[in-house]
Amino acid sequence: MEPPTYNEATLPRSATNVGERDVCPPPSYYASLAQSLEPPPYQETNPYPVLMPASFNTQQISPVNIHLTPLDAVVSQPQAGESATIANLLTSPGSVQCPHCQQDVITKIKQMPGKGAYTLCCILAFSGLVCGFCLIPFMIPDFWDVHHYCPHCGKHLHVHHKS
C-alpha cells in the first residue's frame, strides 16, 4: 500500500475516496446525537456500602480496685516582712537582704544589652548589614539583661537574662 499524495492528504476526509483505504469516516454530530437520546438504564447497585461495626467478644472483665491515699501538701510563702532570695529577682526591683551589707533593701535595676544582642549584631554584620543595621538588636528591649544592685553599698547582686 502506498502513502497518499500531498493533495490527497491535505483534502478533508469526506472528499477522499474511502473505498481505497478501508477507512470509515466518523459519524456527523447530529447522527451521534440521535443514537444517544435515551439515558442509560438505572442500576440497583449501592455505590456507598454500609460499614458494619466490628463485633467484639463481650466477656466480663473484673474491675480493678485502686485505693488512693491523699497526699498532704505543704506550701510556704514569704511573709510581708520577709525578703526573697537573690535568685528570684526578675525584671522589676525586688526586696532582698544584701549579702554584702546584710541590710534588707529594694534593689536598684539597670538594663544593659545582653549576650543575645551582641550575638545577633555579629550575625547581621557578617551577613553584610554593616551600615547601622547590625545595631538594631541593641534597640530591642527583649535582648537586654536586668542587673540588680544594692542601693546602700552599690554592689552587684544579680543578673536576670531575658533571652
- DSSP conformation letters of 118-140: HHHHHHHHHTT-TTTGGGGGGG-
Residues 31, 17: Cα–Cα separation, whole Å: 21
- The reply to whether the predicted model has a pTM over 0.85 is no
And the C-alpha cell for 42?
A: 438505572
Q: What is the pLDDT of residue 90?
A: 74
Place of cell 478501508: 22
Does some domain include residue 30? no
Does some domain include residue 68? no
Does some domain include residue 94? yes
Does some domain include residue 113? yes
Domain span at residue 155? 86-161
Residues belonging to the chain: 163
Does some domain include residue 157? yes
Q: What is the pLDDT of residue 11?
A: 73
Backbone angles phi, psi at 78, to 5 degrees: -65, 140
Work out how many domains the chain is built from and give that number: 1
Element of type H or E holding 77: none
Does some domain include residue 109? yes
Quickly list H helices, 40-126: 115-126
Are 88 and 82 in contact by the 8 Å Cβ rule? The answer is no
Are 121 and 98 in contact by the 8 Å Cβ rule? The answer is no
Enumerate residue ranges in the chain where pLDDT < 70: 1, 12-23, 31-38, 40, 43-68, 71-87, 163
